Every structure is written in C-alpha cells, then in structure tokens.
Amino acid sequence: MLERLNQAVDYIEEHLGGPLDMAEPARIAMTSEYHFRRMFSALAGIPLSEYVRRRRLTLAGAEVLAGERTLLDVAVRYGYGSGEAFARAFRAVHGVGPGEARRTGAALNSQPRMSFRLIVEGRSSMRYRVVEKEGFRLVGRGTRVPLVYEGMNPAIVEFVRGIGKETLGRWEAYANGEPGGVLAVVSDHCADDVEGTELGYFQGVVSDGEVPGASESLRVDPGTWAVFESSGAFPSAVQYLWRDVYTQWFPSNPYRSRPGPSLSRTRVSQDGTHADAEVWIPVERVGG
C-alpha cells in the first residue's frame, strides 16, 4: 500500500508544472479518488489539494528567484490564469509578492516533497466491527460549524449547549435503532477540507417516530459501516481514533471509505477528562 502511495506522489510531482488529473494518482494507488484523498489527508496531515498548491508554489518560488521566466509565464506554468491570482496565492504561502521576491531576493517558504515510510505501530489492537445496515432516519437539530482538527471545537460546544442537556437526555429515550444514543453527525466532510472549512453538523438520534424538540431529520441510505470503539482522555482519544482509522486500519484491511455521513457517540465523564466513544464510518469492500 505504501509503495503505491509513493508511486502516486511521484505522479503528482511529475505533473506539478502542468495539468493534473487527480483520478490518475488514485488509479495508481488502486483505490477510489474519494478514498485516496481521505487517506492522503490522514497520513500527511493536510488535504491533498493544499499539498499540491504548496508544492506548486514552492517550485514557482524557485523559478521566480531564478529570473529565467517572466512572472506571467511562471503563473501560467503552475496553473494560474492571471498574474493577480498568482500574486495572491504566492503571497499567501511566502508572505511576499512574486515581484518583490524577485527584486529583493527574499527568503521564501518551502513545502518539502512527501514520501510515506513504514513505522511499526499496531502494538495494541483496534476494536472494530463491520455492519451491513438498512437505511435509517436521524432526528434532531443541525447547524454549520468550522472544521477543527485538534482540541475542542467552540462552535460545536456552543451548539450543543444551546440544545441543552435535558433535551438531549429526552432525545435519548426516543432512540430506537442502531447506533444507539445521541449521535454527532458530520454530513458533508471532504478530505480536501482545510481547518476552518464549514461543515454540516447534526445532533440527534436514530428514530422512526417523532422526537419532542427535534426540528430536523436526515435520511441515511443503506450501506456498509465500519464501527470503531475508543476509551481514553477527552477529546484527544476521540480525535486520535479518527487518525488511527486512516493511518492503521484502512491500510491493513480490504476496505475503503465511501461518501456518506460519519457518526459518532461520545460519553464524557462528569469531570470532562475521559470519554468512551464509538465511531461509524461508511465503507465499501475493495474489489467486492
């Protein structure tokens, strides 16, 4: 798997100075483009699109300083339709415009080329099961929140506080399907989402009836789910579980992620330091 990922990165590297079809590195890695993006993001720590942008602007920076091409030629070579768009992107990465960088020989930032190597982990097993599930209905309330990769998400905390513990407790009594209990649902997360991207977020329960105080519902299509369990410090243990799913479980098992909402149920201790979590990720069997 790692060898194929590195071959895919080689392809990306070879096409930074021209059109880049993201379906091709996914083909090289022998997986879907959706799963390739999710896998890359989990392993690299940044979305694939952001990595490509940084690599292109790293190479563009070297050409700007070399002075052998006009700034417009450099912009077009790395996928920018105008000098203005190139200048904005260049400044966002390097902190200085391309013209000023060329005039002054400014120090620029560099995104190193990535490669993936095996680090022996897996000394402790991951608890998981695979579930074939009919379509179901989620009932609760939804909002939009910015993506936060580590630490507490203030927007989610505020949203859940606005619903209230008493209301959430009442909802749990109306849950009549699996996953049980009150669930946190991310409905439209993409692997290319950078920190701060707005996501659809939903709190609710699986129920086929009416739930007092629940103003919205979501229909979830039938499919296969990988279900993972975690117990540890809150919130790091829950966030590390998501990381480990993509960096350890997927490379070791014949499944890949598929589009669909991700579900999680977290029970936090009274002092807020410990949590037991269950995460449901929509998957499909590779080759099946």
Residue ranges per domain, the chain? 2-104, 128-285
Residue 246 DSSP class = I
| Cβ-Cβ contacts under 8 Å for 35 (sequence gap 6 or more) | 26, 250, 256, 257, 258
Domain 2-104, CATH? 1.10.10.60
pTM beyond 0.75? no
Q: What is the pLDDT of residue 38?
A: 82
What span, in angstroms and rounded, lies between the C-alpha atoms of 92 and 20? 22
121 pLDDT more than 50: no
Q: Tell me: the pLDDT tens digits for 8-43?
A: 999 999 999 888 898 999 999 888 888 888 888 877
Residue 139 burial (10 A CB sphere; 0-12, 13-18, 19+): buried
Q: Residue 248 burial by CB count (10 A; 0-12/13-18/19+): exposed, middle or buried?
A: middle
Round to whole Å and give the CA distance between 267 and 27. 40
Where is 159: in which H helix or E strand? Answer: helix 154-163
pLDDT in tens, 41-91: 877 878 888 899 999 999 999 999 989 999 999 999 999 989 999 999 999
**Where does the pLDDT of residue 140 fall: very low under 50, low under 70, confident under 90, or very high at 90 and above?**
very high
pLDDT at 235: 74
- May I ask the CATH class of domain 128-285? alpha beta
Q: What is the pLDDT of residue 120?
A: 45
